[in-house]
């Protein structure tokens, strides 16, 4: 029976693969023909279009003709892009046309219908689907892992079905390697095989092995604040990226990459995840670190990596600003090429004209409008600002264009409300010379209304390492966005970061719908490694943790009194792990510790990964714990697991939990001197 099923599935795969090859050939022919026609038409345009600007009438005719040809070319570009994207989808499916099959009996029917599920949908004739997209409603019954009577949703309508078969495949192009029928996640051979593979420098999509608790998060209905609270190795980041892909699919007519903002802790991690969405046929949304966000919004200085400001100062800015009386030093001169257009005294005079408004958006925007008109009048009449431009007056519209062209910098300065001395205002409110980046941008938003209303989703990974002030800034800057926050409170490795209880309090205080979803299964680490990092959790949390991986090797834990013995063991472990497959990370708690140990090893020291580096494809490397967050490695050596680096306080336990949980297969814990008490 098994051989017969295998042969039937191989025959179906061969048929599907050949159809995909036919579709690919047809698309390539269409693209070639379209490109040839485009080249022919562009040559025709070049040869026949007349650029005649003799008078107004002929100029208008010329411009109209150019516009017609531009639209014609745009049509080519749209069609070419559409065909190109479809060809990309087909090429991805040719690598592995699908990974699962379900057989459903619909209500009122008796004959099962088969559906093959893959990374993307493809149809042979435009409506008969050969492969359904994993994000489609009908594919949900596969991920729910419940054979028998079940259902799925289509536009708020429940479709009852009887799931007769849930089959998974391992496929390499047109070859069926294996298949199995299953309904319980922990027994999935495909999942276990995936987890046993060596790690690379890039995160892989988990589409074929999404588990039920992960699927709940991925397909969860839209809420204003969704907090995913998952243990180390539970696939939080993978789930985040799959949810972004799911949202793009569900809202494909209205949601574009620029409507999503992904916030991540460091560039190393961003580089690690940057291939997942493209592999699913989607474009990566803008991805920013905190420092990159500050640069984007125009903060004129950078502070420490993690802004330790609590909510108190930002709340004070909000409360006090409306009662603050403006003063002259709250404003800047407006200049052009180093010459003053309006002094800050002039600006202050305008501000005083609108004293009926309190300090805030209405006052500053009203002042900006008035300043722009006054500046234009000054720039029209003072030749000192017009040394390099033609001064001959023309029509009103021509004069307006001249002012815009010649003095756009000064006018833009006004329109962006850069005439406000944000730092001085914040200093007055807070009574402090030192102003953090969060305080600066929050004050600017309160004064000018600066924000991004186009972003509809903000995704924050490793949210436990952000401060309350940073989350307040994001919430105010993206007023129309829904937030998805992912993290693990026990991986908070900085002081002063936000608690999950506080996130809930802030959301509810703002009147936002808040949902928290757990992820409690570790798919990353061996049971031995999982047991070690779980031992650092509170008892009630520890009891909920489980691992689905098969047993691995024992963990090496050693401490040494002498430098010689310590460095000999470290060198021996590096040499041993260098012979193993995959990636080996030598993790140090701090940059100081990393440089000290690497310096002692000299020429024998592995590569050091900095914030600007990508991970190597294989081999051994040094990495600081702060950069290792969110990443996973086949082998990990904790090189400085002493009591000083990992003290027995809460923060020390969090750091050790984070470091240990980076390992998937092999773990060695070394200390020079006294070993941390947390182990």
The answer to whether residue 126 is domain-embedded is no
d(CA 646, CA 557): 14
The answer to whether residue 216 is domain-embedded is no
When pLDDT is averaged across residues 550-575 and rounded to a whole number, the result is 90
The answer to whether residue 547 is domain-embedded is yes
**pLDDT tens-digit readout, 610-622:** 988 889 988 999 9
- Dihedral sign from CA coordinates of 43, 44, 45, 46: positive
The answer to whether residue 410 is domain-embedded is yes
CB-based contact 484:228 (threshold 8 Å): yes
CB-based contact 500:275 (threshold 8 Å): no
Task: Give kind and range of the element (H or E) at residue 637.
Answer: strand 633-638
Q: Does 429 show up as a binding residue in the annotation?
A: no
Instruction: Please state, in angstroms and as integers, the Cα–Cα distance from residue 457 to each residue in 245, 249, 275, 597, following that order.
Output: 12, 14, 20, 42
Beta carbons within 8 Å of 102's beta carbon, 6+ residues apart: 114, 115, 117, 138, 139, 141, 142, 163, 165, 166, 167
Question: Which residues face 608 on adjacent strands?
Answer: 622
Q: How confident is the model at residue 396 (pLDDT cuts 50, 70, 90)?
A: low
**Token couple for 117:** 């599920």
The answer to whether residue 5 is domain-embedded is yes
| 369, 393, 419 - which closes a domain | 419
**Token couple for 230:** 């998952």
Q: Does 148 show up as a binding residue in the annotation?
A: no
The answer to whether residue 188 is domain-embedded is no
> Would you call 292 exposed, middle or buried from its count of C-beta atoms within 10 A (0-12, 13-18, 19+)?
middle
> What Rg, from alpha-carbon coordinates, does the chain have?
31
Q: Does 610 show up as a binding residue in the annotation?
A: no
Domain interval for residue 6: 1-95
Q: Does 37 show up as a binding residue in the annotation?
A: no
Query: Any idea which residue has 């279009």 for tokens?
Result: 49
**Token couple for 95:** 């690598």
The answer to whether residue 490 is domain-embedded is no
For β-strands 607-608 and 633-638, DSSP reports them as unpaired
CATH number at residue 666: 3.40.50.300
Count of domains in the chain?
A: 3
The verdict on 415 and 539 lying in the same domain is no
pLDDT the model gives residue 306? 47
The answer to whether residue 465 is domain-embedded is no
pLDDT the model gives residue 308? 52
**Token couple for 533:** 């990092």
d(CA 334, CA 421): 12
Q: How confident is the model at residue 187 (pLDDT cuts 50, 70, 90)?
A: very low
| 77, 95, 113 - which closes a domain | 95
* Secondary structure (3-state) at 170: strand
The pLDDT > 70 percentage for the chain reads 89
| 388, 419, 450 - which closes a domain | 419
**pLDDT tens-digit readout, 425-459:** 999 999 999 999 999 999 999 999 999 999 999 99
Q: Does 234 show up as a binding residue in the annotation?
A: yes
Q: Does 84 show up as a binding residue in the annotation?
A: no
């Amino acid at each position: 029976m098994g051989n017969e099923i295998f042969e039937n599935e191989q025959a179906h795969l061969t048929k599907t693969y050949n159809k995909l090859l036919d579709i690919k050939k047809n698309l390539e022919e269409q693209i070639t023909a379209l490109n040839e026609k485009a080249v022919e038409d562009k040559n025709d345009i070049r040869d026949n279009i007349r650029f005649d600007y003799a008078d107004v009438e002929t100029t208008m005719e010329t411009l109209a003709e150019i516009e017609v040809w531009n639209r014609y070319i745009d049509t080519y570009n749209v069609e070419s892009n559409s065909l190109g994207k479809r060809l990309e989808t087909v090429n991805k499916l040719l690598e592995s046309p699908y990974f699962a099959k379900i057989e459903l009996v619909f209500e009122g029917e008796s004959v099962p219908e088969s559906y093959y599920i893959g990374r993307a949908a493809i149809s042979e004739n435009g409506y008969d689907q050969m492969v359904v997209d994993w994000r489609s409603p009908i594919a949900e019954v596969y991920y729910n892992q419940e054979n028998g009577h079940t259902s799925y949703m289509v536009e708020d309508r429940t479709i009852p079905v009887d799931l007769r078969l849930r089959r998974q495949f391992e496929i390499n192009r047109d070859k069926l390697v294996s298949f199995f029928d299953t309904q319980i996640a922990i027994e999935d051979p495909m999942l276990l095989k995936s987890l046993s593979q060596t790690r690379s420098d890039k995160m892989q999509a988990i589409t074929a092995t999404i588990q039920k608790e992960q699927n709940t998060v991925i397909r969860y209905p839209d809420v204003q604040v969704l907090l995913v609270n998952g243990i180390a190795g539970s696939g939080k980041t993978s789930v985040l990226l799959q949810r972004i892909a799911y949202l793009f699919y569900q809202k494909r007519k209205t949601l574009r990459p620029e409507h999503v903002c992904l916030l991540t802790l460091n560039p190393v991690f961003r580089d690690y995840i940057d291939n997942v969405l493209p592999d699913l046929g989607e474009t990566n949304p803008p991805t920013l670190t905190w420092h990159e966000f500050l640069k984007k919004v125009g903060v004129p200085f950078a502070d420490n990596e993690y802004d330790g400001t609590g909510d108190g100062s930002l709340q004070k800015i909000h409360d006090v600003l409306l009662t603050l009386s403006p003063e002259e030093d709250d404003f800047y001169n407006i200049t052009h090429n180093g010459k003053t257009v309006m002094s800050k005294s002039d600006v202050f005079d305008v501000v005083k004209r609108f004293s009926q408004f309190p300090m805030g958006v209405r006052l500053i925007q009203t002042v900006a409008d008035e300043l722009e008109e006054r500046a234009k009048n000054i720039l029209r009449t003072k030749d000192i600002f017009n040394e390099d431009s033609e001064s001959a007056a023309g029509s009103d519209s021509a004069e307006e264009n001249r002012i815009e062209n010649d003095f756009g910098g000064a006018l833009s300065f006004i329109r962006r409300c850069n005439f406000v001395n944000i730092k001085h205002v914040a200093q007055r409110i807070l009574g402090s010379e030192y102003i953090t980046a969060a305080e600066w941008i929050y004050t600017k938003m309160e004064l000018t209304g600066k924000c991004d209303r186009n972003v509809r989703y903000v995704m924050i990974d490793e949210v436990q390492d952000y401060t309350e002030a940073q989350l307040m800034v994001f919430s105010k800057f993206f007023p129309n966005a829904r937030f998805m926050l992912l993290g693990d409170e026990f991986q908070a490795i900085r002081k002063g970061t936000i608690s999950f209880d506080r996130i809930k309090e802030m959301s509810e205080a703002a009147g936002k719908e808040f949902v928290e979803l757990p992820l409690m299964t570790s798919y990353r680490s061996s049971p031995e490694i999982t047991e070690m990092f779980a031992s650092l959790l509170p008892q009630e949390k520890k009891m909920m943790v489980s691992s689905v991986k098969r047993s691995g090797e024992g963990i090496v834990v050693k401490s040494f009194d002498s430098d010689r013995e310590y460095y000999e063991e470290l060198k021996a472990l590096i040499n041993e792990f260098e012979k193993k497959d995959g990636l080996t990370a030598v993790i140090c708690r701090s940059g100081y510790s990393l440089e000290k140990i690497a310096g002692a090893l000299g020429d024998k020291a592995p590569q050091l990964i900095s914030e600007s580096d990508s991970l190597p494809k294989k081999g051994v490397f040094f990495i600081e714990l702060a950069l290792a967050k969110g990443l996973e490695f086949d082998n990990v050596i904790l090189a400085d697991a002493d009591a000083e680096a990992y003290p027995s306080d809460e923060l020390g336990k969090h750091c050790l939990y984070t470091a240990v949980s980076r390992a998937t297969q092999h773990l060695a814990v070394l200390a020079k001197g006294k070993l941390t008490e947390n182990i």
